[in-house]
């Protein structure tokens, strides 16, 4: 089988599906989801054929990886090429991304109430109450485009094609977050979807313009954007990593790497550009899973992994400000996100901040040159976070059913309105439990444990003790807020009627949960440290690590670190400890009523309020950036510069000419126009004088006639006489 052709074709089916749904089949909802699902299943099969064929070739694969390209844009005598390639890194993404996408597509069928009748009260642009989503076909069109863009990004052999997939995904996330564009909330503080969509697009765009500069810079310096042509070209890499950049503190490679990393900060919602992600929860839940687990945020990490040879300065040692910045942002975000997640009530928002925090783990890992660990965590996180998001969607859906049955009006996403769902929604409960334990890093049996442990071990071995400590605290908080979430939703007694009447969802929703649970457990065993007692040997001595690191040129592969018990014990302690503490506080004495005060809130007081308000970052941005932008646009550039200064000068000049025109007109009046004007005046004066004659009264006219006849008679008489 021609693997190269197959690689070209991977992103194509969903893109065709998008066009088909938009142009042809959108009137039939069943046909729309059939087209969409079929397309992603085809892509999934093709991806796995390509990926596992590559993996089967083992360690020699990277000597002759799949790659192909065509001329895309003529640039003088040369061409900018576009192409596809599968290296050891993209092969990993080809394994887990399409699988998650298929799960999400299937889940969407159930989530959008397929099979139910269209409720007449439901409007396009608002969430359906009980019937099928009015814009069902459109939803699958968007999802298809999203999937096509993500797969394009994965198989891209160059930075520009990757950026294209990246931006189209940005568009899709905008469209999907704002999918319920007509939704309005009673509470003015709650962000409606259409605003959340703009926020997501604009925040990531801040990052993207930097990334664009980075790409332009790379292209200008390297003369190509093809990853392999750059990273495996030793002479070029030597120049890039040794020449100082336009900003002196960096080498060219470091500055380009930093600019591209800023793109990741936006896309993967790292501090300070994390603000869009929690509001992105306004989108339908499958979208949250897509954006936050399978696709978009993964793309962010993936892009930084891609340019790892640049940011790590060719794997070189010595001062590297870029790596320091990346480590700092990652570690800070990991802790920052985890603290906020502790104080959220919205079941999806907890997961949103959890995502921010987990991505921080990966970013920090990259910053510490833990290339393999970052990739590993990227993969396991995609599985268990997609699972958790879809699980939360299932919970919300269940509560909404309850709401519908008992006609109660509550916030179905607020965990305080839940409780006791364990018995109502058993499949959701067990799968959510697995996902939550994986996220918490429950030792040995969950994937999250192995990948998180890998990051901690790397940090410990390489002497990043501060980062190690910060990440341990973050991991502890992760386990804690996860147990809080599980306890609040599933344990205790239902705190509302709706929760009491919630019930399990249809199979299209639960099947994806079960499939992903499998991977949330077993995906971790491929990356167990080779020297881990018993298990390392049992699971094939870390096949994952040995495969992924070969994506890098040989000289840049970071050294393997020896096995050490201390970080392992630490990750067990923080994982189990956090879960236990969470259970002690929230599980053993569950909240009795939806109005109860959160026990930790009582403890923390004002700190809790600050966490609940996300450190007021949104408020700060509004005052510091958004309001000034309004003012600049409406007042400074438009009213003052354009209308005031420029047009003012023009009008002034014009009025000068106007005056001059009036002056010359005056001269003309006296010198040239006067005689004819006087004549004209004479005529006008006569006319004015005579107009009183015309009164419009018959008797007057008769009288004039009589007078006139008399006068004429007199004249004749006079003349004849």
| Residue 503 per-residue DSSP state | -
Q: Bridge partners of 711?
A: none
- Closest contact distance (angstroms) between CB of 230 and other proteins is 15
> What distances in angstroms separate CA 174 from CA 18, 144, 276, one per listed residue?
16, 14, 11
CB nearer to other proteins: pick between 259 and 513: 259
- Closest contact distance (angstroms) between CB of 136 and other proteins is 13
Q: What residues line the site for other proteins (CB under 8 A)?
A: 22, 71-78, 123-126, 160, 163-164, 166-168, 171, 174-175, 178, 181-184, 194-195, 197-198, 201-202, 205-206, 209-210, 212-213, 215-217, 219-220, 223, 246, 629-630, 632-638, 641-643, 646-648, 650-652, 654-655
DSSP 249-308: TSBHHHHHHHHHHHHHHHHTT-TTS-THHHHGGGS-HHHHHIIIIISHHHHHHHHHHHTH
Residue 427 and residue 478 in contact, taking contact as beta carbons nearer than 8 Å: no
d(CA 256, CA 263): 11
Residue labelled with tokens 């021609």: 2
CB nearer to other proteins: pick between 201 and 336: 201
CB nearer to other proteins: pick between 156 and 418: 156
Which of 687, 699, 458, 429 lies closest to 562 in space, CA to CA? Answer: 458
CB nearer to other proteins: pick between 319 and 629: 629
CB nearer to other proteins: pick between 212 and 445: 212
d(CA 328, CA 131): 48
Residue 287 and residue 373 in contact, taking contact as beta carbons nearer than 8 Å: no
d(CA 531, CA 537): 7
CB nearer to other proteins: pick between 645 and 708: 645
- Closest contact distance (angstroms) between CB of 414 and other proteins is 23
- Closest contact distance (angstroms) between CB of 417 and other proteins is 25
CB nearer to other proteins: pick between 21 and 434: 21
- Closest contact distance (angstroms) between CB of 112 and other proteins is 17
- Closest contact distance (angstroms) between CB of 156 and other proteins is 11
Tokens of 390: 């879809």
- Closest contact distance (angstroms) between CB of 59 and other proteins is 35
CB nearer to other proteins: pick between 603 and 650: 650
CB nearer to other proteins: pick between 64 and 630: 630
Nearest 5°: phi and psi at 304?
Answer: -70, -40
Burial pattern 357-396, b for ≥16 Cβ within 10 A else e, equals: bbbbbbbbbbbbbbbbbbbbbbbbbbbbbbbbbbbbbbbb
CB nearer to other proteins: pick between 242 and 643: 643
CB nearer to other proteins: pick between 160 and 552: 160
CB nearer to other proteins: pick between 71 and 684: 71
Q: What H or E segment, with its residue span, contains residue 410?
A: none
- 3-class SS letters over 140-203: HHHHHHHHHHHHHHHHECEHHHHHHHHHHHHHHHHHHHCCCCCCCCCCCCCCCHHHHHHHHHHH
- Closest contact distance (angstroms) between CB of 305 and other proteins is 21
Residue 135 and residue 119 in contact, taking contact as beta carbons nearer than 8 Å: no
CB nearer to other proteins: pick between 229 and 408: 229
Q: How many C-beta atoms surround the C-beta of residue 305 within 10 A?
A: 24
CB nearer to other proteins: pick between 11 and 524: 11
- Closest contact distance (angstroms) between CB of 670 and other proteins is 27
- Closest contact distance (angstroms) between CB of 71 and other proteins is 7
- Closest contact distance (angstroms) between CB of 541 and other proteins is 42
> What distances in angstroms separate CA 245 from CA 218, 220, 305, 650, one per listed residue?
11, 12, 21, 44
| Residue 539 per-residue DSSP state | T
Tokens of 20: 């088909």
214, burial (CB in 10 Å: exposed 0-12, middle 13-18, buried 19+): buried
Q: How many C-beta atoms surround the C-beta of residue 628 within 10 A?
A: 12
d(CA 124, CA 359): 34
Residue 557 and residue 546 in contact, taking contact as beta carbons nearer than 8 Å: no
d(CA 541, CA 535): 8
- Closest contact distance (angstroms) between CB of 632 and other proteins is 5
> What distances in angstroms separate CA 642 from CA 631, 638, 651, 681, one per listed residue?
14, 5, 12, 45
- Closest contact distance (angstroms) between CB of 58 and other proteins is 35
The answer to whether the peptide bond before residue 272 is cis (omega within 30 degrees of 0) is yes
d(CA 287, CA 140): 11
DSSP 348-377: HHHHHHHHHHHHHHHHHHHHTT-HHHHHHH
- Closest contact distance (angstroms) between CB of 203 and other proteins is 10
- Closest contact distance (angstroms) between CB of 490 and other proteins is 35
CB nearer to other proteins: pick between 613 and 637: 637
């Amino acid at each position: 089988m021609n693997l190269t052709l197959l690689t070209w074709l991977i992103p194509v089916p969903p893109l065709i599906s998008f066009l088909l749904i938009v142009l042809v089949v959108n009137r039939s909802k069943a046909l729309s989801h059939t087209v969409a699902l079929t397309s992603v299943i085809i892509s999934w099969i093709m991806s796995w054929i390509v990926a596992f064929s590559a993996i089967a070739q083992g360690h020699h694969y990277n000597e002759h990886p799949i790659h192909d390209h065509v001329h895309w844009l003529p640039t003088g005598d040369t061409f900018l090429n576009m192409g596809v390639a599968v290296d050891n890194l993209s092969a990993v993404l080809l394994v887990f991304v399409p699988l998650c996408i298929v799960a999400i597509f299937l889940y969407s069928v159930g989530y959008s109430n397929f099979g139910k009748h269209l409720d007449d009260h439901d409007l396009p642009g608002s969430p359906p109450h009980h019937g099928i989503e009015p814009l069902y076909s459109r939803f699958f069109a968007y999802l298809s485009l999203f999937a096509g863009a993500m797969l394009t990004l994965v198989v891209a052999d160059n930075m520009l094609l990757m950026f294209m997939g990246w931006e189209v995904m940005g568009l899709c996330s905008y469209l999907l977050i704002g999918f319920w564009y007509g939704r309005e909330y009673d509470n003015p503080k709650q962000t409606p979807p259409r605003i959340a969509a703009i926020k997501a697009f604009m925040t990531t765009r801040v990052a993207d313009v930097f990334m664009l500069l980075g790409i332009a810079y790379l292209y200008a310096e390297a003369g190509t954007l093809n990853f392999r042509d750059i990273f495996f070209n030793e002479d070029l890499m030597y120049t890039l990593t040794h020449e100082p950049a336009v900003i002196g503190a960096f080498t060219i490679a470091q500055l380009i790497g930093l600019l591209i990393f800023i793109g990741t900060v936006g896309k993967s919602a790292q501090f300070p550009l994390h603000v869009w992600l929690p509001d992105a929860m306004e989108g339908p839940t499958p979208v949250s899973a897509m954006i936050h687990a399978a696709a978009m945020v993964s793309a962010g990490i993936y892009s930084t992994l891609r340019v790892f040879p640049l940011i790590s300065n060719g794997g070189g040692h010595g001062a590297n400000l870029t790596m320091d910045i990346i480590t700092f942002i990652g570690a800070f975000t990991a802790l920052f996100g985890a603290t906020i997640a502790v104080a959220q009530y919205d079941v999806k928002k907890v997961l949103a901040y959890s995502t921010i925090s987990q991505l921080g783990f990966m970013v920090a890992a990259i910053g510490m040159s833990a290339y393999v660990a970052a990739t590993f965590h990227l993969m396991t996180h995609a599985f268990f976070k997609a699972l958790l998001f879809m699980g939360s969607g299932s919970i919300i859906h269940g509560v909404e059913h309850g709401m519908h049955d008992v006609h109660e009006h509550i916030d179905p996403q607020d965990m305080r309105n839940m409780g006791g769902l364990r018995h109502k929604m058993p499949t959701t409960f067990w799968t959510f439990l697995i996902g939550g334990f994986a996220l918490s890093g429950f030792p040995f049996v969950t994937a999250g444990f192995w990948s998180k442990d890998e990051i901690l071990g790397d940090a410990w071995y390489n002497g990043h003790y501060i980062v190690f400590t910060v990440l341990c605290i973050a991991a502890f908080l992760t386990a804690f807020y996860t147990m809080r979430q599980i306890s609040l939703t599933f344990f205790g007694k239902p705190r509302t009627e709706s929760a009491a009447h919630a019930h399990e969802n249809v199979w299209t929703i639960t099947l994806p949960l079960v499939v992903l649970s499998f991977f949330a457990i077993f995906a971790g065993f491929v990356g167990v440290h080779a020297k881990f007692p018993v298990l390392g040997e049992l699971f094939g001595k870390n096949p994952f690590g040995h495969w992924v690191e070969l994506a890098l040129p040989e000289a840049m592969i970071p050294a393997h670190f020896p096995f050490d018990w201390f970080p392992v014990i630490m990750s067990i302690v923080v994982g189990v400890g956090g879960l236990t503490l969470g259970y002690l506080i929230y599980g053993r004495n569950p909240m009795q009523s939806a109005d109860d005060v959160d026990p930790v809130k009582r403890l923390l007081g004002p700190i809790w309020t600050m966490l609940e308000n996300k450190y007021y970052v949104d408020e700060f941005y509004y005052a510091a950036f958004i309001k000034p932008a309004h003012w600049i646009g409406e007042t400074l550039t438009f009213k003052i510069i354009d209308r005031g200064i420029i047009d003012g000068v023009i009008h002034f000049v014009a009025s000068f000419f106007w005056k001059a025109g009036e002056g010359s007109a005056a001269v003309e009046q006296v010198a040239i126009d006067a005689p004819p004007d006087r004549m004209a005046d004479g005529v006008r004066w006569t006319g004015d004088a005579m107009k009183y004659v015309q009164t419009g009264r018959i008797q007057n006219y008769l009288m004039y006639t009589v007078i006139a006849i008399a006068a004429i008679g007199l004249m004749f008489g006079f003349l004849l006489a």
